Amino acid sequence: MTDPRLSDPHVLDQPWRVWASVGVLGILLFGVLLGVLIIPVVQGRSAGIDAFTAICRALGILPGSPAQPQPASVSPPTPVSQVIWTPDVLQILARGNPERGRAKVVEVCVACHGEQGISVSPDYPNLNGQSGAAIYKQLHDYRTGSRVNQLMTDLAKALEEPMIADVAAYYAGQPKRNPNPATLGELPASIVRLVELGDPSRNIPPCAACHRPGSGGPIEAPILSEQGREYLAQQLRMYASGERRNDVYARMRVIAARLTPAEIDGLSRYYNAGFR
């Protein structure tokens, strides 16, 4: 260490700079060659995939694995609902105009669902404060025949898509009534548990997993709080029997079929009382 040049950090640095770069870049090059060229080409050859396709798959330019033929989808889907939540549909919903919706409601819907969304008969659902996406989904399903109801099918077919969004926006903006806390104590613990925890032993998920506002469930899951007791029970029975079938992935048909009549009654009372 007598050479004074050796004490200069930049002289000391020269081999470091070279060998560190060679080492790090060498490892990187090795990884690229192996991962993107050699392995995919060799794997592809034994799977009957040409080299170019295999490399494109390894890079993610083409779908599938370079090691396996990509399975072709053979069963065409048979959707239970035609509603697809594309950005365009969400834009239509977001642009819904409650004022225009109110005009249509006063003209048509008011006869059964009331101007404020409080229905005139226990057979019809309350719509006050219902989520716009839920109302849109059901009206759209009536239009396409995914859900069938003598009255609603014809009415919904007469509505254009933007008008559906207007009506949905209007009812979504109608206030909820005040829940009645006096009924809180009357519900059996088993019903509350079903709502909060479900019943894993019967593969029943908690109702609250989707039907509580902000639960993160499917966007079209309706708000059930303050819904009519008879309407709720009726719909659960229709799901259980398969008469109603516009639920995506048959979620509600599966769940409802596993509920006992007493549970259907209890859950309907739970939500009717204003619980969330």
Partner 1 sequence: MGECPVRNVERLCLAHFWVAFAAFLVAALLGTWQMWVRSPLGANIGTPSQYFLSVTAHGVAMAYVLTTFFIMGFGYFVAVTALARPLPGKAWAWGGFWLAITGVALALWAILTGKASVLFTFYPPLTGSAFFYIGLVLVVIGSWIWCVLMLVAMGAWKRENPGRPIPLAMFGTCANAVMWLWTTVGVAVELLFQVIPAALGLVQTIDVGLARTLFSWTLHAIVYFWLIPAYIAFYTMVPRAAGGRLYSDTMGRLTFILFLIYSLPVGMHHLLMDPEHGNGTKFIQVLLTAFVSVPTLLTIFTITASLEIAGRLRGGRGVFGWIASLPWERPMVLATGLGFIMLGFGGFGGLINMGYGMNAMVHNTSWVTAHFHLIFGGSVVIMYFAIAYEVWPRLTGREYPSLTPLRLQLWLWFIGMMVMTVPWHWLGLQGQWRRVANFNYADPIIAPWGPWVVVSLAGGVILLVSALLFVGNLLSLHRSTAMVVARPLYALAVHPPRRVPAALNGFGLWNVLVLILMLVAYGWPLAQFAVEPSPTAIVHRVE
The angle formed by the CA atoms of residues 170, 174 and 175, to the nearest 5 degrees, is 165
Which residues from 46-105 bind partner 1, rule CB under 8 A?
55, 57-61, 65-67, 85, 87, 90-91, 94
Q: Provide the minimum distance between the beta carbon of 122 and partner 1 in the complex, in angstroms, as a whole number.
A: 30
Q: How far is the CB of 2 from partner 1 (least distance, A)?
A: 14
Q: Report how many residues bind partner 1 under the rule CB under 8 A.
A: 49
| Contact string 2-31 vs partner 1 (x = CB under 8 A) | -----x-xx-xx--xx--xx--xx-xx-xx
Distance CA 191, CA 183 (A): 14
- CA distance linking residue 221 with residue 188, whole number of Å: 25
Residue 108 to residue 151: CA distance in whole angstroms = 11
Among 39, 110, 238, 250, binds partner 1 (CB under 8 A): 39
Task: Indicate the Cα dihedral angle 204, 209, 210, 211, nearest 10°.
Answer: 100
Q: The tokens of 157 are what?
A: 């077919």
Judge contact between 257 and 226, C-beta under 8 A: no
CB of 88 to partner 1, least distance (A): 10
Of 131 and 235, nearer to partner 1 (C-beta) is 131
Which positions from 122 to 151 touch partner 1 by CB under 8 A, shown as an x/- string? ------------------------------
In the shown chain, the binding pattern of residues 182 to 221 toward partner 1, with x for contact by CB under 8 A and - for none, equals -----------x--xx--xx----x-xx--x-xxxx-x--
The two three-digit tokens of residue 24, written as one number:
């790090």
| Tokens linked to 76 | 């065409």
Compute the CA torsion angle 255, 257, 262, 267 (nearest 10 deg). 30
Please give the single-letter amino acid code of residue 41.
Answer: V
- Which amino acid type is present at position 67? A
Cβ proximity to partner 1: between 58 and 127 the closer is 58
Q: How far is the CB of 57 from partner 1 (least distance, A)?
A: 6
CB neighbourhood size of 224 (10 A): 23
Cβ-Cβ contacts under 8 Å for 149 (sequence gap 6 or more) = 142
Closer residue to partner 1 in complex, CB, 78/86: 86
List contacts with partner 1 (CB under 8 A). 7, 9-10, 12-13, 16-17, 20-21, 24-25, 27-28, 30-32, 34-36, 39-40, 55, 57-61, 65-67, 85, 87, 90-91, 94, 193, 196-197, 200-201, 206, 208-209, 212, 214-217, 219
